[in-house]
Structure 1
Amino acid sequence: MRAGYLVPTPSPPRRPNFRQHDGSVWTRIWAVAEPTIDRRPPMSGATRLAAVIGDPVRHSLSPTLLGAAFAETGLDWTYVALEVADGSARGALDGMRALGISGLSVTMPHKAAVAAEVDRCTDDATALGAVNCVVVEEGQLVGYNTDGEGFLDGLAHDSGMDVTGRRVVVLGAGGAARAVVQALAGAGASEVVVANRTLARAEEAAAMAGSAGRALELSLGHPGGRLEGALADALGDAELVVNATSVGMGGSSEMSTIDLPVDPALIGAGSVVVDLIYHPAETALMAAMRIRGIEAYGGLSMLVCQAARAFTLWTGVEAPLLAMHTAAQASLASR
């Protein structure tokens, strides 16, 4: 194993502190955007390498996010995107070892395969069966999943919400939904209702919340019938609603039923709504909520914060959240 490959065992990243020093005023750090200055030394044989693997990977924002983080902090690291074919996760990890790559981000379709191939996983990643971040710890490749904690970090930034004791509805039961459900339960949410078109998948995702979890069937379009009635009640009572489906990703903020995961009128007036979609910046669901005066946020903060946690796990340095967010916004604006 080459010299310089081992890095200290990292401590779990802390929840970012988005409050001012006196703790009284909520500060949204995304409000001010300034260009990132690349403070890194010239690349050399000492430069550390991190990468993202996926198939496809050219759409990934990870190089933008992590590249901005390394540039802003001046760390002698660089970050690249590597297209790795489905089924080749083991070879990619062997390459990580052989090349001395110091950190790895993992996107689709490799999250489950990497979880099975790393030397060990954290408890959260094991429960999810999915890894989005590989960290080198004492010569071992350790799999993490930063999505759930990244969601909570982003929620704290955007709305200031503490989910302890809160009633939550999560729409969808895919990998992102499962990570969010797990994190919500771990943070003390009193009830996490998971609604999905396939009830069995909703039940699997709800199980991530233990006794706080409950599964319901999600019928897109027009609610009606017993299960949909139960979902309507849950939406009306929820203090937080999370859309983890792909409905609304089409790019239109027009409020047609095809772009809405549920009837917006069912969501209670006192709720906070988070749509995990980050492009477009405003989905039809978000637009419908804002018309009603309901707080609604997109998924960019979660994306930034999960990447920030990976950055800190690799480097032990606090991530420059503003620089990362600014770079992501600029990249998305050009798409």
Structure 2
Amino acid sequence: MRSPELISGATRLAGVIGDPVRHSLSPAIHNAAYAAHGLDWAYVALPVRPGGVEAALRGAVALGLEGLSVTMPHKATAAACCDELTPAAVSLGVVNATKRVGTSLVGHNTDGTGFLHALSAAGWDAAGRNAIVLGAGGTARALTAALAGAGAARVTVAARRADAAREVAQLAGAVGVGVALDRVDDAGWGGADLVANTTPVGMIGGPAPQHALAQVELLSPRCWVIDAVYHPTETPLLVAAKGRGLSTLGGVELLVGVSAEVFTWWTDLDAPLDAMSAAALDQLGRER
């Protein structure tokens, strides 16, 4: 981690906005990446309340920040505030990162492709597979589109509200199906090659910290289970999946995959994944 005395007038700044955001692992992850490459960059967490997103983004451009990661609940608002959107951000209507290009603000989304990057590194390929995406928020939108783009045979979006699930499933085109969560039947769970939780269920301090949305007991031995929640690192969903002997990826691995693509978009350098993962786990260990 960079020492405060090493920050100078030449240091290039980046950060993350959200509400809340003080708990974010992103500063540890990105600062480790900068250190591994010897970059004179620094990354900080910047709490921004709803209603202040446009002012925050314009202020960041005026101050010369290189870019900002964007987390809940600001992803859709941030997209509307950008001067330009990448094709990924246009199709999704949400951004998880912005970049300053002169005096303009460009919005991008690496949530879905970052998740697939982490899965690919672990040995899972979406082509020809059946996936269930739990949730209908910005991350669900990104992952649904990414899975379809990677050749998934079927992407079922399951959310509390069927209409919200169907709207997200449209991003997968002909292979997308949207249903209410309680309408996923035994055959649906049993036929899944991937189950991905993109909701805050299972998160410490979240709406249901002791719960898992998936019917893990119905999943086949081939199914992979991933959970975007990283606090705790072992969510109820992941504990149940590991108890069945299923392959899993947790929120830390997924966040590193997403952050790696943002890092490369900003710097044009390959992301040092091992250093980024180690920094995230170290940060979590010190918070316990």
Which residue is 2:238 aligned to?
A: 286
Describe the superposition over 1:102-124 as per-residue Cα deviations: whole angstroms up to 9, x where unpaired: 11111222211111111111122
Residue from 49, 57, 68 that aligns with 2:21 = 57
- 1:199 positional shift: 0.4
**Residue 278 (structure 2) aligns with:** 326
SS at match of 1:87: coil
Q: Which residue of 2 aligns with 1:29?
A: none
Identity of aligned residues (%): 48
Establish whether residue 174 from structure 1 lines up as the match of residue 137 from structure 2: yes
Higher relative contact order (CA 8 A, sep 6+): 1
Residue 81, structure 1, aligned to residue 50, structure 2: no
Contact 2:221 2:246 in 1 (8 A): yes
Once the two structures are TM-superposed, the CA of residue 281 in structure 1 deviates from its matched residue by: 1.6
The 2-side partners of 1:184 and 1:172 are apart by 15
Question: In structure 1, what is the equivalent of residue 80 of structure 2?
Answer: 116
* Cα deviation, residue 267, structure 1: 1.0
Residue 249 (1) aligns with residue 212 (2):
no
Task: Please give the alpha-carbon distance, in whole angstroms, between the structure 1 residues aligned to 2:250 and 2:45.
Answer: 25
Partners of 2:61 and 2:100 within 8 A in 1? no
Q: Cα distance 1:56–1:282, how it changes in 2: closer, same or farther (>3 A)?
A: closer
Question: Secondary structure of 1:259's match?
Answer: coil
Distance 1:260 1:108, change over 3 A: closer
Q: Kindly name which structure, 1 or 2, has the bigger radius of gyration based on alpha carbons.
A: 1
Distance 1:123 1:131, change over 3 A: same
Q: Give the letter aligned to residue 96 of structure 1.
A: A
Aligned AA for 2:48?
V
Q: Deviations over 1:56-107 (max 9, x none)?
A: 2211111111111111211111112222221112211221221111111112
**Partners of 1:294 and 1:82 in 2: CA distance:** 37
| Partner Cα separation in structure 2 for residue 109 and residue 257 of structure 1 | 19
Give the alignment of 1:86-165 within 5 angstroms. Answer: 86-137=50-101, 139-158=103-122, 160-165=123-128
SS state at 1:81 partner: strand
Q: Cα 1:228–1:150, aligned 2, differ >3 Å: closer, same or farther? A: closer
Aligned to 1:18: none
Q: Contact 2:17 / 2:46 at 8 angstroms: preserved in 1?
A: yes
Instruction: Show the counterpart of 2:255.
Output: 303
Residue-pair matches, total: 285
TM-score when normalising by structure 1? 0.79
1:235 to 171, 189, 198: 189
Residues in 2 aligned to 1:103 and 1:147: alpha-carbon distance in whole angstroms: 16
User: What does 1:31-42 align with in structure 2 at a 5 Å threshold?
Assistant: 42=6
Q: Which amino acid aligns with 2:174?
A: S
Amino acid at match of 2:31: G
**Larger mean Cα displacement after TM superposition, 44-53 or 208-217:** 44-53
1:151-203 per-position Cα deviation (integer Å, ceiling 9, x unaligned) = 00111123x11111111111222221111111101111110011112101110
1:236, distance to aligned residue in structure 2 (A):
0.7
Amino acid at match of 2:211: D
| Coordinate RMSD, CA, aligned | 2.2
Supply the AA of the counterpart residue of 1:280.
Answer: P
Alignment-mate amino acid for residue 325 of structure 1? S
In the aligned structure 2, how far is the partner of 1:260 from the partner of 1:204? 23
- Whole-Å separation in 2 of the counterparts to 1:271 and 1:123: 31
Deviation at 1:53, TM superposition (A): 1.6
Q: Distance in 2 between matches of 1:218 and 1:110?
A: 25
Say whether 1:204 aligns with 2:167: yes
- The TM-score, its normalising length taken from structure 2, stands at 0.92
Post-superposition CA distance 1:208-266 (Å, at most 9, x none): 111110112212xxxxxxx343xx21211111111223222248xxxx99522132221
Q: Check whether the contact 1:164–1:187 (CA below 8 A) recurs between aligned residues.
A: yes
Q: Deviation of residue 138 (structure 1)?
A: 5.3
Counterpart secondary structure, 1:161:
coil
